[in-house]
C-alpha cells in the first residue's frame, strides 16, 4: 500500500475523510490579495527553487506568507532562502513597497 493510500485509509477509518478532503480543496483554492491588487494562490508562486527573484515575485511571496497561504518556515524551506533574507524582503516591502525589493545595493527610494 502506498503512503497516500495509507493516509486515505486512516482518514476513512476515523470518519474524517470527507472533511479532510474538503479542507485540502479549500487550501488548494485559497487566494490572497497580492501587491498589485491581484488575487494570488499557491499555484501563482514559483514551482522551482532556481528562480530569478524579481521585485514583484518577492512581493507575491511576502503577501502569500502574510495572507496565510504558507508559513514563514515553509517559504524559506520551499525556496531555499535564509530566514534573514526573507525577513529583509518583508522589512523592505514594509518600508518601500515593491520598489524596496530591488536588489541594487545603492539606490534611493522615492
Q: Find the mean pLDDT for residues 22-43.
A: 79
First to last CA, the chain: 59
**Tens digit of pLDDT for each residue in 53-101?**
999 999 999 999 998 888 999 999 999 999 999 999 999 999 999 999 9
The x, y and z cell numbers of residue 11, run together, are 482518514
Q: Do 26 and 36 belong to one domain? A: no
At residue 106, the pLDDT reads 47
Q: What is the extent of the structural domain holding 6? A: 1-30
Identify whether the C-beta of residue 90 lies closer than 8 Å to the C-beta of residue 67: no
pTM above 0.85, yes or no: no
Both 44 and 73 in one domain: the answer is: yes
Q: What is the CATH number of the domain that holds 99?
A: 1.10.10.10
Amino acid at each position: 500500500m502506498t503512503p497516500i493510500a495509507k493516509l486515505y485509509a486512516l482518514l476513512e477509518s476515523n470518519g474524517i475523510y470527507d472533511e479532510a478532503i474538503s479542507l485540502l480543496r479549500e487550501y488548494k483554492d485559497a487566494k490572497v490579495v497580492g501587491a498589485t491588487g491581484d488575487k494570488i494562490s499557491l499555484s501563482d508562486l514559483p514551482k522551482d527553487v532556481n528562480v530569478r527573484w524579481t521585485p514583484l515575485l518577492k512581493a507575491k511571496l511576502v503577501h502569500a506568507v502574510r495572507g496565510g497561504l504558507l508559513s514563514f518556515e515553509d517559504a524559506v524551506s520551499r525556496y531555499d532562502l535564509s530566514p534573514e533574507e526573507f525577513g529583509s524582503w518583508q522589512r523592505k516591502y514594509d518600508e518601500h513597497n515593491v520598489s524596496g525589493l530591488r536588489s541594487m545595493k545603492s539606490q534611493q527610494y522615492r
